[in-house]
Amino acid sequence: MDGTSADPRSLLRDLRDHRFRRRFEAAEGIFVAETLPVVERVLEAGCEPLEALVVERIAATRPDLVARLGSVVEVVSRARLDEIAGFPVHRGVLGAFSRRGAAPTTPPAVVGILVGIGDAENLGAIFRSAAALGVDELLLDATCADPWSRRCVRVSMGTVPLVPWRRGGSGPELVVWAERSGLTTVALTPGPDAPELDALPSPVALVLGSEGPGLDPATLAAASLRRRIPMARGVDSLNVGHAAAIAFHLAVRGDRARAATGPETGSRGRPDTAPRGGPPRGRSSP
């Protein structure tokens, strides 16, 4: 497969052409994963390997990985993989996999609503925190980056297939849907008039906006509550990925504490009040 990057049949061709890859990967229902930890995680999530390249050193030391990738794997030199990948961030493993989404939790107790998170690295960091901390679902508005993008999958450490998510609609639409589903919506903002983020209601939907502009006025107005993370030493705000991790931890910890005191106070196991049809339709995790 020496012609992988140019072979019109290859799922790993033209990796430097981002516009082509967005269209091609969506049409084929695939995504690209790279680095050993990420590839192992997406395999564990049940994503089928369709084409894979592994450098000679890793193939020699990890025959189990080669076996899991099966007949679609090819062992190549580091120089060849660098050429195909376009950027030397693959750490010796690169592959195309089928998209496979996680089934949503019904009813959800902790949801993240993401508005305008257009940076794939920030989005990947949020997915990683959501997976690690136990967030039930992420709802992305239509302006968010594509979670299946190569960079997002890499920064998420391969957790995109593990977290139920949907993408579509506007921030206010997602907030209204969450409220009608029985979730209290809490918008995170650096605004000095917002109370400090502390105990959170349950079930809850945490609303986060992009770095810089933050949440738009319409989304802020639609949310039931506003909260801010207190800052020190003149720092005005945190990276949105860090802010999300703090809020997710508080929300999940609070829900678990309520659930431990009895079913009448915890949101786990409450009747499913979600409106029929789900949130505003868009591209979802499967």
Prior bond of 107 cis (ω within 30°): yes
User: What pLDDT does residue 2 have?
Assistant: 46
Tens digit of each residue's pLDDT, the chain (286 residues): 444 545 556 888 777 778 888 888 888 999 999 999 999 999 999 999 999 999 988 988 999 999 999 988 888 888 888 777 776 666 789 999 999 988 887 889 999 999 999 999 999 999 999 999 999 999 999 999 999 999 999 999 999 999 999 999 999 999 999 999 999 999 999 988 999 999 899 999 999 999 878 899 999 999 999 999 999 998 888 999 999 999 999 999 988 888 887 655 455 444 455 554 667 765 555 4
Distance CA 239, CA 272 (A): 34
User: What pLDDT does residue 234 have?
Assistant: 86
User: What pLDDT does residue 248 have?
Assistant: 97
User: What pLDDT does residue 282 have?
Assistant: 58
User: What pLDDT does residue 284 have?
Assistant: 56
**Are the beta carbons of 107 and 34 closer than 8 angstroms?**
no
User: What pLDDT does residue 74 have?
Assistant: 86
User: What pLDDT does residue 281 have?
Assistant: 61
Distance CA 99, CA 178 (A): 26
User: What pLDDT does residue 276 have?
Assistant: 46
For 43, how many CA atoms within 13 A lie in the half-sphere containing its CB? 21
**Could you give the 3-state DSSP secondary structure of residue 32?**
strand
Distances (CA, A) of 282 to 31, 144, 165, 174, 285: 18, 12, 10, 11, 10
**Are the beta carbons of 90 and 81 closer than 8 angstroms?**
yes
Distance CA 215, CA 167 (A): 17
Residue 160: closest CA among 250, 72, 285:
285
CATH no., domain 110-284: 3.40.1280.10
Residues of the chain with CATH 3.40.1280.10: 110-284
Contacts of 7 (CB under 8 A, 6+ apart): 1, 13
Q: How far apart are the first and last CA of the chain?
A: 30
Longest dimension (CA), the chain: 62
CATH class as words, domain 18-98:
alpha beta
User: What pLDDT does residue 211 have?
Assistant: 80
User: What pLDDT does residue 255 have?
Assistant: 87
Residues of the chain with CATH 3.30.1330.30: 18-98
